[in-house]
Amino acid sequence: MLHLNRIVLSTCLVVFALVVQICVLARLQLPGAVPDLLLLVVLGLALVYGHTGGALIGFAAGLLADLAPPADHAAGRYALVLCVIGYLAGLAKPESGQLRSATGPMLVVVAAAIGATLLYAGVGILVGDDAARQVGLGKLLFTAALYDLLLAPFTVPLIMGLARRSENDPMADSAGGGGESPSRWISTAGGVSTGRVGRMSRLKRPGRAARIGSQRGGLLARTGKNRTARIKGVKRL
């Protein structure tokens, strides 16, 4: 049943991402690369399902993209790319199944965008396609990483949340979803940690400061009395 849920959810997400990428994102005429929503879907599912599931989903998604019009490259080229990326991204799945912060997944997104572009261009050179050289590989790498990084906080945590709910994972209902929240990803990417601020505010409360001061004063007073008693005892001797 769990495998059936994975297949149904993965198929729906991959088809939806491919339609949006072909009908919307590819028509934006952005400079450089096209935002790769299909890659982000594979990454989000691989971070939940692991390297085996990530490789299988990546291969199926890439093959579908190879066959969908208006594809103008050899069939199997993007399937190989997404299969490798899905496998490597699945290796980054946390052992506890819970993400502590968004820093790790964001680094995975950047590495996957750059790696997918390089691998796609490398396979293209092997089959005689030098389109990447004409556009400029450096420009493609920069724009691919930038577009995917901007799109990731709004897509990857939602995909991971859906994947967990489809498996009836209790972590999906926990607070924050293990870091899989768009707002938390955005705040973490901005370097703001609310937990640390809360701890600092608790340390700065007047009541806590007063208790610490009174305890310190009591210790100093007891130390002073003991020292005085020892001095008096020495004088009596």
> Is residue 7 included in any domain, yes or no?
no
> Is residue 53 included in any domain, yes or no?
yes
CA pair distance 86, 80, nearest whole angstrom: 10
Under a CB-based contact definition with an 8 Å cutoff, are residues 66 and 76 in contact? yes
Q: Find all residues with CB under 8 Å of 36, minimum gap 6, and list them.
A: 21, 113, 116, 144, 147, 148
Which pLDDT tens digits describe the chain residue by residue (237 residues)? 558 888 999 999 999 999 999 999 989 888 888 899 999 999 999 999 999 999 999 999 999 999 988 777 778 889 999 999 999 999 988 776 566 677 788 899 999 999 999 998 888 888 777 666 666 788 889 999 999 999 999 999 999 999 988 876 555 554 344 445 565 555 555 543 444 444 444 444 455 544 545 554 554 445 444 444 343 433 332
- What is the dihedral sign for C-alpha 184, 12, 19, 143? positive
Helices (H), the chain: 2-23, 37-67, 77-91, 103-126, 131-135, 137-166, 182-189, 194-203, 206-236
Under a CB-based contact definition with an 8 Å cutoff, are residues 126 and 77 in contact? no
> Is residue 50 included in any domain, yes or no?
yes
> Is residue 16 included in any domain, yes or no?
no
The two tokens of residue 90 are 């699945």
Tally of domains in the chain: 1
> Is residue 180 included in any domain, yes or no?
no
Cα–Cα distances in Å, from 145 out to 32, 39, 59, 206?
A: 11, 11, 21, 47
* Range(s) of the domain holding residue 64: 35-94
> Is residue 159 included in any domain, yes or no?
no
> Is residue 54 included in any domain, yes or no?
yes
Under a CB-based contact definition with an 8 Å cutoff, are residues 61 and 107 in contact? no
Under a CB-based contact definition with an 8 Å cutoff, are residues 74 and 90 in contact? no
The two tokens of residue 145 are 């990483």
> Is residue 135 included in any domain, yes or no?
no
